[in-house]
Amino acid sequence: MTSYFSHPKLLLKLVETLLPWSLATFALFGCAGLLLGLVFSQADYQQGETVRIMYVHVPASWGALSVYTAMAILSGWGFVTRAPLLHIMTKSIAPIGMAFTFVSLGTGAIWGKPTWGTWWAWDARLTSMLLLFFLYGGYWTLVTAFEEEEKGLTAGAVIALVGWVNIPIIKWSVEWWHTLHQPASVLRLAKPAIHWTLLTPLLCMAIAFAAGGFALSALRLRTELNRRKIQALQIREWSSRHQEVE
């Protein structure tokens, strides 16, 4: 597996192989999740119809945390192995994680208005999630701020590693500070505190979000690798022409 992260051609081949499967998984589970969640599942006895926001909000939140964790792992691995492809992969998935975070915050606000009576509260979970959005933004600002792209990738990798400390804060903030946000209903040590009629479409949507996020990340990585390949060819062509002139 390590060879894939040191040879762009092998990585591109792997991406091309997995991309159709991830798109098919996204379509299959996305349609199933929407059908089950919007048509067949019952309204919650407390939240009513607003519970259906959960089928987008929760997978987006899981995706936001998972992508940033992947960024931290890839960045640390990149520093240890000195493989530039790992930092390129981190750059490729960052916008996907930022989009997940934006969707999580937006759907959370929509859910909060009828439930809490306000679009936003400086709840520990919400505040730490907003901080995650800023960390994504800070990463992207750093990787695009330098003329030398490698310096930007290195600086971004640092913030990806340092910022990961916010992930366990997001996860455990509800238990640590007893905030307005409801505690975990699925990802918990005990049995999930959610009925199977709600859990089934939720898990379908989670799989769809994961597959869709992977597909978008794969497309971005393919574009990034092809862009670098074109740049290398242009530089090589310019150098050969320059040598001929001399």
pLDDT in tens, 183-201: 555 554 445 557 777 888 8
pLDDT value, residue 239: 63
Query: 29 or 223: whose pLDDT is higher?
Result: 29
In a domain, 189, yes or no: no
Which comes out higher in pLDDT, residue 192 or 17?
Answer: 17
Q: How confident is the model at residue 235 (pLDDT cuts 50, 70, 90)?
A: low
The predicted structure's pLDDT at residue 190:
45
Backbone angles phi, psi at 81, to 5 degrees: -90, -15
Please classify residue 163 by burial: count the beta carbons closer than 10 Å to its beta carbon, then call 0-12 exposed, 13-18 middle and 19+ buried: buried
CATH no. for residue 216? 1.20.120
Average the pLDDT over 58-76 and give the result: 94
Share of the chain above pLDDT 90, in %: 45
- pLDDT at position 42 is 77
Total domains in the fold of the chain: 1
Q: Give this prediction's pTM.
A: 0.83
As a whole number of angstroms, the distance between CA 69 and CA 54 comes to 22
Q: Is 187 helix (H, G, I), strand (E, B) or coil?
A: coil
Confirm whether 28 is domain-assigned. Answer: yes
Q: Is residue 7 part of a domain?
A: no
- Which structural domain range is residue 36 located in? 24-182+194-245
pLDDT tens digits along 108-134 = 888 888 877 787 777 878 888 999 999
Q: Answer with the residue of higher pLDDT: 225 or 7.
A: 225
**How large is the average pLDDT for residues 134-139?**
95
Q: Quick check: 246 pLDDT over 70?
A: no
Residue 230 resides in a domain: yes
Residue 14: what pLDDT? 86
Amino acid (one-letter) located at 3: S
pLDDT at position 241 is 64
Name the more confident of 208 and 225: 208
Coil/strand/helix, residue 83: coil
For residue 11, tell me if it sits in a domain: no
Domain annotation covers residue 4: no
The CA distance from 59 to 179, in Å, is: 21
Q: Which phi and psi angles does 48 have, rounded to 5°?
A: 70, -140
**Average pLDDT over all residues of the chain:** 83
Given a cut of 60, whether residue 181 has pLDDT beyond it is no
- CB 163, CB 107: distance < 8 Å: no
Asked if the structure places residue 17 within a domain, the reply is no
Question: Is 3 inside any structural domain?
Answer: no
